[in-house]
Amino acid sequence: MSLLSCIGIAACLTAILLLRIYFVLPAFGRDSKYASKRRKGKATVRASADMTLCVVLGSGGHTAEMMRLLQGVEFDRYMQRLYVVGDSDALSLDQIGIVERRGNTYNEEYFVERVPRSREVGQPWLTAPLSVARCLVRTASIFLDYRPDVVLCNGPGNCVVACVVALVPRILGLKRIPIIYVESFARVRTLSLSGKILYLLADRFIVQWPGLVSTYPRAEYIPHLV
């Protein structure tokens, strides 16, 4: 086979892959119709007791907001819960124990997995790709082990990596893992960097200020979440 033929085959395969990615991204293609129905109240993320909910925790204020969000989650609908936490985030571990002790009347067992941070605070951008790669490999390993059915996150960087991993089975046609992203209450006029990325990837993109909906029409405005 000639070099030109190899290049042509590679180009065709790349084009097919890109088209597949385009059509499965919630912001485009078929899944954009799902998101539109969800905003109109015609579609839901169905839950059952045997489903595994993956909660990706940030740190600091993001963890505090997620803990308040989890107070509204019916644990009997997600008997298996997986928490993904940064390896240097001790606060989130304490908060997980508190929320589980308060709401866990159905299943005493939950799972906590640690991942390297995709980027530490103040870390040079030059070294960030290596950190992202480590986080990506570890997160992929966790998802292979637990096979979550829903991903819930609210930033920052680690949740972007988790959502990218969650999209891989969908791209391959193996499994659709709904992604729910809740933008921080602190974001009144603009999205965070994680939010700008996950606006394209999340099945449900929830904001807590009405002004953001006019700029980002895929967003759902749900007030007083946290």
Model pLDDT for residues 36-81, shown as the tens digit of each residue:
555 554 445 555 667 899 999 987 788 889 988 888 888 878 888 9
What is the rounded distance in angstroms from the CA atom of residue 197 to the CA atom of residue 188? 17
For residue 199, pLDDT over 80 is answered with: yes
For residue 177, pLDDT over 90 is answered with: yes
Determine the pLDDT at residue 97: 86
Q: Give the pLDDT band (50/70/90) at residue 213.
A: very high
Determine the pLDDT at residue 41: 47
Determine the pLDDT at residue 5: 75
Beta-carbon contacts of 161 under 8 Å, excluding residues fewer than 6 positions away, are 115, 118, 132, 135, 136, 139
Query: In whole angstroms, how far apart are CA 108 and each of 2, 47, 111, 143, 176?
Result: 61, 19, 10, 21, 27
Mean pLDDT of 162-185: 93
Determine the pLDDT at residue 50: 78
Beta-carbon contacts of 90 under 8 Å, excluding residues fewer than 6 positions away, are none
Determine the pLDDT at residue 121: 64
Determine the pLDDT at residue 43: 46
For residue 117, pLDDT over 70 is answered with: yes
Mean pLDDT of 210-216: 91
Q: Give the pLDDT band (50/70/90) at residue 15.
A: confident
202, exposed or middle or buried, with CB in 10 Å at 0-12, 13-18, 19+?
Answer: buried
